[in-house]
Structure 1
Amino acid sequence: MSATADVAYDADDELGPIDYIVVEFPAGERRITGDALAELAALAADGTIRVLDLVIVHKGEDGSIEVDEIEDHDDLGALGALAAGFAEVLAEQDLLDVAAAMEPGSSAGILVWENTWAAPFAAAVRRNGGQLIASGRIPTQALIAALTSEGE
């Protein structure tokens, strides 16, 4: 993701690592529910994360693209208070790249967040001259498979 932000930060600000996920819902499948949004709002409310952007992309059967900015919806429940503070870091090209990978008729949620729980550690590393040179994520399914095979 190539993020562009409407928010400026000083180099001394305590920023945690920034992550994103894209979750696709095939045509006819369930969409993001109130349960998922409530869990997201709870993570933000307790300071574990800070939601920077949340967008829904719909890809028509004909390949057309429609983008829903979450903050444009009226009934957001607990997520409503967070939407006002979104930094809107996703660029148009990010949305086009996601749409290109999507199946026709599907929808995808794109979530960008700061891991605020790690901000003090990350700031200390930067103050000491360190810089992030690699990052990754182990898929949950791969870890479960590895742990399961060890026990056999």
Structure 2
Amino acid sequence: MNDDIPFEDIGPIDYLVIEFPADRSPDGSALPLLLDLVDRGIVRVLDLAFVRKLADGSVVGVDISELGFEGDIEVSVFAEASSGLLDNADLDEAAAILEPGCSAAVLVYENRWAAPFAAALRHSGAQLVASGRIPVQGILASLDALETQS
């Protein structure tokens, strides 16, 4: 992490585990979109790691340069993303939910857009006591149910 940003000014930190199908490698099409979020100061990538769960259930790390992304994608920007927040135990835990043969990206990022808001709350003595995320599939199912009721 950047040492010149005081801890109390850091935005909320989230993680994602994105599973890629066993029958095809990630194509890298989302990386330019992630880079755009970084360039606009919306997020800061703290860690980005790739793992593969082998058929026997064992887990191996995969270097981003070994993924064989198609097109003109500059992966070196993310190759150095390692804050130390993500360790081998985290990668093993993430890989535990994968199907054998699948690979995954594990992304840890700071929500820079929310940093001033979060800092103001912390300075006033407030604290986050719950957080969550509604999966897109759940929202789409709810919208479909509402549409069929109409």
TM category (shorter chain) comes to: 0.7 to 0.9
Match of 1:48 among 39, 42, 46: 42
Runs of 5+ consecutive residues of structure 2 not aligned to the other structure: none
Q: Secondary structure at the match of 2:138?
A: helix
Residue 92 of structure 1: how far off its partner (Å): 1.2
Q: Secondary structure at the match of 1:24?
A: strand
1:100 shift after superposition = 2.1
Structure 1 residue 34: deviation in Å? Answer: 2.5
Does residue 94 (structure 1) correspond to residue 90 (structure 2)? The answer is: yes
TM-score by length of 1: 0.81
Cα deviation for residue 49 of structure 1 reads 0.6
C-alpha separation in 1, matches of 2:58 and 2:45: 27
User: Which one of 127, 130, 149 corresponds to residue 145 of structure 2?
Assistant: 149
Instruction: Describe the shift of the 1:137–1:49 C-alpha distance in structure 2 as closer, same or farther (beyond 3 A).
Output: same
Task: Give per-residue Cα distances to partners, 1:50-107, cap 9 Å, x unaligned.
Answer: 1111111111112222102437889893443344354242111111112222222111
Q: 1:25 aligns with which of 14, 20, 29?
A: 20
Q: Distance in 1 between matches of 2:77 and 2:100?
A: 32
Please, which moves more after superposition, 81-90 or 139-148? 81-90
- Taking a change above 3 Å as real, the CA distance of residues 128 and 50 of structure 1, as seen in their structure-2 partners, is same
Quickly say closer, same or farther: Cα 1:71–1:31, change in 2 above 3 A.
closer
State the AA in 1 paired with 2:57.
Answer: G
User: Partners of 1:72 and 1:47 in 2: how far apart?
Assistant: 28
From 99, 110, 113, the counterpart of 2:109: 113
Q: CA RMSD in A?
A: 2.6
DSSP-derived class of the 1:33 partner: coil
Work out the percentage of aligned pairs sharing the same amino acid.
44
In the alignment of these two chains, the number of paired residues is 145
Would the aligned equivalents of 2:38 and 2:44 in 1 still touch at CA under 8 Å? yes
Q: Classify the secondary structure of the residue corresponding to 2:29.
A: helix
Q: Per-residue deviation at 1:18?
A: 0.8
Cα deviation digits, residues 11-48 of structure 1 (max 9, x gap): 43x211111111112321x3322311111111111111
- The alignment's TM-score, normalised by the length of structure 2, stands at 0.82
